[in-house]
Amino acid sequence: MTPPASPGLRWGILGPGGIARAFAADLRTAGLDIVAVGSRSAESAAAFAAEFDVARTHGSYDDLVSDADVDIVYIATPHPFHAEQAILALEHGKHVLVEKPFTLNAAEAAAVRDVAADRGLLAMEAMWTRYLPHMARIREIVGSGTLGDIRALTADHTQLISSDPTHRLNALELGGGALLDLGIYPISFAWDMLGEPLTIAASARLGDTGADTEIATIMSHASGALSTSLSASRAAGPNTAHIIGTDARVDIDRVWYNASSFRVVAPDGAVLEEYTSDIQGRGMQFQALAAERIVAKGRTDSELLPIDETVAIMATLDEIRELVGVRYPGEE
């Protein structure tokens, strides 16, 4: 599947790490315009620019957001720095697409939202899964009533990453823990399909550093449906997701939060629909194209993931962390 043509924003990349490389590769696949990259290290910025044919490099974030030829900044640093850097870019008149999780907590997310509103700019969470074609089709299926009365949703995001206490997934000072880095996907998925949770229960195993290494949630939603999630950074599971209704269910294959295949299955096992993903690259270009279309229409918010919903999802993550006893340095 070829994505629609770009309306033509000029992108700057803030933080040329691994996720930024995946993002830039997909932007190049889609023909989007990356004009600058900024890093605290001039050498890192130069290496990224050479890899992705980016014209200008900046050895500081201030220089990047001051670049007059940059319209929108993709923020790809660790999440404890997102709020400060997003606000920096917004104050320099740049739209921002901020990697998930949007910030460290809901208070920071609200601060970014308020600055964007004051400046009349787009601040959008880079929850790229929402913008993938298979998720668009699943929303159509859910909305059509094909599944009947939705009773449950379940999803896992489990990876074997690292037990090194200095790794960012285990370091509280870097916002470590499976929930914010991995659990954000199934929690956002539940919000997308079922809406705001009414009740939340959670249990977790904490590592030696105090960061959550495994965490499970049960949430109830206004329709009466239940959602469950399991996220882990010390063990790799199936990474599948399911939406279960009275008339049919959706089974999303591994890896469900990437561009993936799925089936709609009747209670008797009959396959009612089978969807196979056919996109170029990983699929991160779809969120960027959505951001460009929003700006081209003169709007400053995403209909698919409004900034108020991003703030509310961060509040859900705050509540889950409170339930399991994970608090980051500096939080009251």
Of 100, 113, 168, 321, which one is the catalytic site residue? Answer: 100
Contact 214, 232 (CB under 8 A): yes
Q: Are 280 and 2 in contact (CB under 8 A)?
A: yes
Select from 190, 244, 245, 192 the least CA-distant residue to 220: 190
Beta strands in 52-159 (DSSP E): 56-58, 72-75, 95-99, 123-126, 150-158
Give the DSSP per-residue string, 16-38.
-SHHHHHHHHHHHHTT-EEEEEE
Kindly give, in sequence order, each residue whose CB lies less than 8 Å from that of residue 192, ignoring residues fewer than 6 positions away: 130, 135, 139, 305
Q: Are 213 and 178 in contact (CB under 8 A)?
A: yes
Contacts for 298-302: CB closer than 8 Å, 24+ residues apart: 299/122, 300/116, 300/117, 300/120, 300/121, 300/122, 300/123, 301/122, 301/124, 302/122, 302/124
What residue type is 33 in one-letter code? D
Tell me whether strands 212-221 and 72-75 are parallel, antiparallel or unpaired.
Answer: unpaired
The answer to whether the CB of 234 falls within 8 A of the CB of 212 is: no
User: Judging by DSSP bridges, how do beta strands 241-245 and 226-232 pair with one another?
Assistant: unpaired
Of the chain, the end-to-end C-alpha distance in Å amounts to 47
94 is catalytic: no
| String of DSSP letters for 172-188 | GGGT-SHIIIIIHHHHH
- Cα dihedral sign for 40, 43, 46, 52? negative
Active site residue ranges: 100
